[in-house]
Amino acid sequence: MAMIDARPGRVRPAPENFLTDEQIAAVKDGRRDFLRKAFLTASAAMAAPAVARAAVEGDPAILELPQWSTTLGLPVAANPYGMPSKYERGLQRRESPGLTRVGGSSVAFTPLQGLFGIITPSGLHFERHHQGWHDVDPSKHRLMINGLVKTNAVFTMDDLMRLPSVSRIHFIECGANTGMEWGNVAVPTVQYSHGMLSCSEFTGVPLKDILDMCGADYKKGRFVLAEGADGSSMTRTIPMEMIESGEVLVAYGMNGEMLRPENGYPLRLVVPGVQGVSWVKWLRRIEVGDKPWATKDEAVHYMDLMPDGQHRQYTSIQECKSVITTPSGGQLLLDKGFYNISGMAWSGRGKVTRVDVSTDGGINWRQARLETPVLSKAVTRFNIDWVWDGKPAILQSRAVDETGYVQPTYGQLRAARGTKSIYHNNAIQSWKVVESGEVSNVQVL
Residue numbers 223-242 binding other proteins by CB under 8 A: 225, 227, 231-233, 235, 238-242
- Residue with smaller CB distance to other proteins, 55 or 227: 227
Only one of the segments 3-11, 24-32, 249-257, 327-335 lies at the binding site for other proteins (rule: CB under 8 A); that segment is: 327-335
- Residue with smaller CB distance to other proteins, 53 or 150: 150
Q: Kindly state the smallest distance separating residue 426's Cβ from other proteins, in Å.
A: 9
- Residue with smaller CB distance to other proteins, 35 or 334: 334
Only one of the segments 6-14, 51-59, 250-258, 346-354 lies at the binding site for other proteins (rule: CB under 8 A); that segment is: 346-354
Footprint of other proteins on 390-429 (CB under 8 A):
394, 398, 400, 405-410, 412-413, 415-417, 420, 424
Q: Kindly state the smallest distance separating residue 298's Cβ from other proteins, in Å.
A: 8
Footprint of other proteins on 43-72 (CB under 8 A):
none
Rounded Cα distance between 202 and 376, Å, is: 14
Rounded Cα distance between 262 and 254, Å, is: 12
Rounded Cα distance between 181 and 422, Å, is: 8
- Verify binding: residue 117, other proteins, rule CB under 8 A: no
- Residue with smaller CB distance to other proteins, 54 or 443: 443
- Verify binding: residue 131, other proteins, rule CB under 8 A: yes
Q: Which letter does DSSP use for residue 307 in this model?
A: T
Q: Which letter does DSSP use for residue 69 in this model?
A: H
Contact flags string 273-312 toward other proteins, x per CB under 8 A = xx---------xx-x-x-xxxxxx-xxx--xxxxxxxxxx
Q: Kindly state the smallest distance separating residue 141's Cβ from other proteins, in Å.
A: 13
Contact flags string 174-203 toward other proteins, x per CB under 8 A = ----------xxxxxx-xx-----------
- Residue with smaller CB distance to other proteins, 54 or 59: 59
Q: Kindly state the smallest distance separating residue 53's Cβ from other proteins, in Å.
A: 25
- Verify binding: residue 154, other proteins, rule CB under 8 A: yes
Only one of the segments 6-14, 27-35, 66-74, 434-442 lies at the binding site for other proteins (rule: CB under 8 A); that segment is: 434-442
Task: Single out the residue of 24, 163, 374, 434 in contact with other proteins (rule: CB under 8 A).
Answer: 163
Cβ atoms within 10 Å of 389's Cβ, excluding its own: 10
- Verify binding: residue 336, other proteins, rule CB under 8 A: no
Footprint of other proteins on 249-278 (CB under 8 A):
271, 273-274
The full DSSP string for 21-64 is: HHHHHHHHTT-HHHHHH-S-HHHHHHH-HHHHHHTTT--HHHHS
Which residues lie across from 432 on neighbouring strands?
394, 440
| Nearest Cα to Cα of residue 359 among 330, 338, 380, 381 | 338
| Nearest Cα to Cα of residue 273 among 168, 352, 173, 399 | 173
Rounded Cα distance between 185 and 175, Å, is: 18
Q: Kindly state the smallest distance separating residue 263's Cβ from other proteins, in Å.
A: 16
* Residue 292 CA, distance from chain mean position: 30
Q: Which letter does DSSP use for residue 414 in this model?
A: H
Q: Which run of H or of E encompasses 312?
A: strand 311-312
- Residue with smaller CB distance to other proteins, 119 or 332: 332
Q: Which run of H or of E encompasses 355?
A: strand 352-358
Cβ contacts of 384 within 8 Å, gap of 6 or more: 340, 341, 357, 366, 367, 368, 369
Rounded Cα distance between 73 and 423, Å, is: 50
Footprint of other proteins on 68-107 (CB under 8 A):
87-98, 101-105
Q: Kindly state the smallest distance separating residue 330's Cβ from other proteins, in Å.
A: 4
Cβ atoms within 10 Å of 392's Cβ, excluding its own: 11
Cβ atoms within 10 Å of 367's Cβ, excluding its own: 12
